[in-house]
Amino acid sequence: MKGRWRTWVLVGLGAATVIAAIYFPYLQKRVKTTAKIEQPSEEQARRELTTPTAANGADPVVKARMFWASPEDETALAAVNVDLALSPEPVLRAKQVLNTLLAGPVDSDLRTLPADAALLAFYLLPDGTAIADFSEALATSTPSGIQSEQLAADSIARTLEANVPQVRRMKILIHGQEAETLAGHLDLTQMFVVNTKATQPGPLLGGALPRATSASAGSAAGSAAAKDTQR
């Protein structure tokens, strides 16, 4: 009896080995196929994040002023006029110009923000304080150094100043959180001056502000006079 049981066990193990040998290549092929299918999906998701906000067909086409690195001096910014259909609503307008800034100029060497960075959210408080929330790539892909980091922040602030007059000052968040620095040097706990002569935007625009962001913005706004920096 024991011998017969041992024989059945050996036969079962042999059959399992044969089945595994046949099935393993198929399983390996399925894994590779699945990986190929998922990769475009992830890429598509990133593209959707970085795609400029679609403009309403009724939005007028205007000469928007974008600030990228100067071709004559890489340490300075230069204004570039771009024909864009921009919304009259400040929040949507800000998203449109910032997404265009993120997309970069024709000459990619003159971009001021990382190509893989994305604008996640934008809020505008009644006092003209803007909160711009960017993906982690803004911090991880911006070249470390006070000059490159300052140029990145200045390009955002000056582009908003030129195209969204309701913005007075700006707070930069990274993935919904306050960061100490951009890439190791530029202080992100501060408010950045955008336009000291900005018009008041009226009611809160762009949706309700998350509680955590609201607390950070309120605290920073209270000390803005002490922390504001010039572009």
| pLDDT at position 4 | 66
Which residue would you say has higher pLDDT here, 193 or 208? 193
Query: What is the rounded distance in angstroms from the CA atom of residue 114 to the CA atom of residue 122?
Result: 18
Residue type, 98: L
Q: What residues have CB less than 8 Å from 182, skipping those under 6 apart? A: 138, 139, 142, 149, 152, 153, 172, 188
What is the side-by-side strand order in the sheet with 129-134? 119-124, 129-134, 169-174, 192-193
pLDDT band at 26 (very low <50, low <70, confident <90, very high): low
Q: Which sequence spans correspond to the domains of the chain?
A: 61-227
* Res. 206: pLDDT tops 80: no
pLDDT band at 224 (very low <50, low <70, confident <90, very high): very low
Query: What is the rounded distance in angstroms from the CA atom of residue 95 to the CA atom of residue 123?
Result: 10
| pLDDT at position 14 | 66
pLDDT band at 51 (very low <50, low <70, confident <90, very high): very low
* Res. 144: pLDDT tops 60: yes
| pLDDT at position 15 | 66
Tokens 């974008």 belong to residue:
66
Q: What is the pTM assigned to this prediction?
A: 0.65
Whether the Cβ atoms of residue 52 and residue 100 lie closer than 8 Å to each other = yes
Query: What is the rounded distance in angstroms from the CA atom of residue 230 to the CA atom of residue 221?
Result: 16
pLDDT in tens, 58-73: 788 999 999 999 999 9
pLDDT in tens, 147-201: 999 999 999 999 999 999 999 999 999 999 999 999 999 999 999 999 877 655 5
**Mean pLDDT, rounded, of the chain:** 77
Q: Angle at which helices 90-103 and 2-50 pack, to 10 degrees? A: 110
Q: What residues have CB less than 8 Å from 161, skipping those under 6 apart? A: 167, 194, 195
Tokens 């393993």 belong to residue:
24
- 14-18, 111-115, 162-166, 227-231: least confidently modelled range: 227-231
